[in-house]
Structure 1
């Protein structure tokens, strides 16, 4: 399996971010082809030392890294990527990686 880890940094208006993400972005992202699982953090995102600058973590699971690349080359994937700019006012970091059970 492979994951796309999305770290949304603290937005200028957290309530507006949360509303848009829940009511609009999730539905757009769920249309991405090849998406196997989609989960988001709930509540504050902290570090072992305390608060972080991250507002929300989204983890999207695909069969492999090439499936992620293909997914974001599709019209649905491009729509999801373009939508991020509409609400992620604090910025966003995205990471793609393969996983292994240990």
Structure 2
């Protein structure tokens, strides 16, 4: 078991959560944050190379668990103007990295 300080460092690797906009039900919101945090941690640990890889993981997880077509945008700087289904969009930051996840189609 690693010392307490190392556990805390791993826990905070992705940074703090800052919610920008959410229409997802609580269970999907929690899934979005957890899945995004895990995928971003994989990138920060060097197992992935690009934010596109993070997006691909999150999209796959959402489409495996929830029906329909989900779209995922991940990065430090992006703009968006999207059409989404009712109550199927979330936009948040983990540290400096933004996550936009929405269902359409």
TM-score (norm 1): 0.32
More helix by share: 2
More strand by share: 1
